[in-house]
Amino acid sequence: MPSESVYGDSVHDDEHSRAAHRTSANVGRTMIGEDIELTLKIVVGGGVGAGKSTLIGSVSEIRPLHSEETLSESEAGPERSDTGGAERKTTTTVAMDFGRITVHSGLSLHLFGTPGQERFRFLWEELSEGALAAVVLADTRRLEDCFAAVDHFERRRIPFVVAVNRFPDAPDHTEHDVAQALDLDGGTPVVLCDARDRASGKEVLIRTVEYAGRMHTARLLAAVG
């Protein structure tokens, strides 16, 4: 089956803008012969430096769109710039990230990364519009940084998975500990990941799509039953 997405099969910069302007539909469909191609919208949220841009960059099969600005000295304070020694965080997202991944033939995901900084929080609303599901990236060294993203998706009833991005110097918490600390609704998945690793990032996205499928089906059945 051809691996076209709903936005066409050629990868060029126009794709970013076209996709960004089509944020209102969480499911895109196009018929290719007898096959149906699905494109789903997933939002990636979480606190500053949790690894949102890193995750989108590592899984995207197109050149990801990042809108980044250099962090000022004060913004890149030690607690924000220390990501385990070798890597120091020097940039922050100021608008959005965008990437795309084909999960398997017939299903691709459009990934929209939010900016973590509070001053850009007004963008979360629009970036979340029409999302099928979300990933909240968490850093256990500062778990409280992802509270706002958890609240955001809960309030909008967007199913989400919490992905704990494991930094080398982060305290070792179990998925259960994290779910309790975040006071998650029962059933909300918590997965451990390495945002720099493509396979690990892809696994997070698969779990997210599976969970969203279960949640949307349950809601649909509840609505008709």
Ligand X SMILES: Nc1nc2c(ncn2[C@@H]2O[C@H](COP(=O)(O)OP(=O)(O)OP(=O)(O)O)[C@@H](O)[C@H]2O)c(=O)[nH]1
Q: Which residues bind ligand X (CB under 6 A)?
A: 46, 48-54, 83-84, 87, 89, 92-93, 115-117, 165-168, 194-196
Complex with ligand X: residue 68 or 177, whichever CB lies closer? 68
Interface residue with Mg ion, options 41, 49, 51, 52 (CB under 5 A): 52
Helix (H), strand (E) at residue 138: strand 133-138
Complex with Mg ion: residue 45 or 189, whichever CB lies closer? 45
**Residue 173 interaction partner, one of ligand X, Mg ion, none, beta carbon < 5-8 Å per kind:** none
Residue 42, Cβ density class (10 Å: 0-12 exposed, 13-18 middle, ≥19 buried): buried
Rounded to the nearest whole angstrom, what is the least distance from the CB of residue 1 to ligand X in the complex?
33
Rounded to the nearest whole angstrom, what is the least distance from the CB of residue 74 to ligand X in the complex?
14
In whole angstroms, how far apart are CA 30 and each of 61, 130, 177, 217? 20, 18, 42, 22
46 phi-psi bin (left φ>0, alpha ψ -120 to 50, beta other): left
Interface residue with Mg ion, options 26, 39, 93, 140 (CB under 5 A): 93
Backbone phi, psi, residue 209, to 5°: -65, -40
